[in-house]
Amino acid sequence: MTRRHLILRLASPLVAFGGETIDNFGVIRDFPALSMLTGLVANALGWDRSEPARHDRLQERLRIGTRLEQPGSRLTDFQTAQLGANDKGWTTWGTPEERRGGAASYDSPHLRYRDYHADLVACVVLRLEPAEESPTLDNIAAALDRPQRPLFIGRKPCLPTGRLMAGWVHADTVLDALQHLPMPHGTQSVRAQWPDGEGLLAGDQVLDLCDERQWRSGLHGGWRPVREGMIR
């Protein structure tokens, strides 16, 4: 059965496909997480973080696949800030973050490391199951062109260099949709990731991926099988 898929083009001087953050190290993945794309769409629609049920349902409905048109390179940004006793850090859960450990903890700066993809370009295809439920793909396409809030690709500094909405493709599966996209100029093959059950490629491999967010708690949990391979 041929189904309509929305095409997104993710490109920026810096991109962050975030992975599991450990202590003060913000690592990245090779491909965008399902939770990241859920948050990107929800932000464009103007949804609030206090609406976890809407986010959970959108994440449940999304079927996504990604091609790395230009893999780029990786860099690590070393960040430091001297925080005073009255300084508070912004958080996504609504409660300001403060330094802990007594007065002496303010003698040293706050240090952290954040990884980024430099000059990466990725094409994402997505559809919704069921397609007729709100929001629809048309709602999402319109919101990406006229978002309710500024959009970023993974982290706030990662502003898109161009239009995110890149068209439509009709295909039976997510992999089929990825294969219908034209190859980048001068490229013979591109690396891709798509959900298990959405097509097979010779030589692909199945991986268990933990990239779903439990929006009520703000934590990641649950595993889903994906396939990775080379589209030639």
Residue 128's identity, in one-letter code, is L
Of 135 and 49, more confident = 135
Mean pLDDT (whole number) for 17-26? 77
Asked whether residue 102 carries a pLDDT value surpassing 60, the answer given is no
What residues does each domain of the chain span?
3-78+113-231
Contacts of 19 (CB under 8 A, 6+ apart): 27, 28, 29, 33
Range from 9-23, 86-100, 119-133, 189-203 carrying the lowest mean pLDDT = 86-100
pLDDT at 101: 58
Q: What percent of the chain has pLDDT over 90?
A: 73
Of 94 and 231, more confident = 231
Q: State whether residue 174 is helix, strand or coil.
A: helix
Q: Are residues 28 and 72 in contact, defined by beta-carbon separation less than 8 angstroms?
A: no
Q: What percent of the chain has pLDDT over 70?
A: 88
Fold of 3-78+113-231: Alpha-Beta Plaits (3.30.70)
pLDDT at 219: 82
Please state, in angstroms and rounded to a whole number, the distance separating the CA atoms of residues 63 and 37.
Answer: 10
Residue 131's identity, in one-letter code, is A
Asked whether residue 124 carries a pLDDT value surpassing 60, the answer given is yes
Mean pLDDT (whole number) for 215-229? 89
pLDDT at 205: 98
Taking residue 35's Cβ as centre, other Cβ atoms within 10 Å add up to 19
Q: Are residues 66 and 30 in contact, defined by beta-carbon separation less than 8 angstroms?
A: no
Asked whether residue 172 carries a pLDDT value surpassing 90, the answer given is yes
Cis peptide preceding 130, ω within 30 of 0 = yes
pLDDT at 5: 98
Asked whether residue 97 carries a pLDDT value surpassing 90, the answer given is no
Query: pTM for the complete prediction?
Result: 0.87
Name the pLDDT band for 130 (thresholds 50, 70, 90): very high
Asked whether residue 40 carries a pLDDT value surpassing 80, the answer given is yes
Mean pLDDT (whole number) for 137-164? 95
pLDDT at 79: 84
Specify the pairing of strand 25-26 against strand 165-171: unpaired
Q: Are residues 40 and 153 in contact, defined by beta-carbon separation less than 8 angstroms?
A: yes
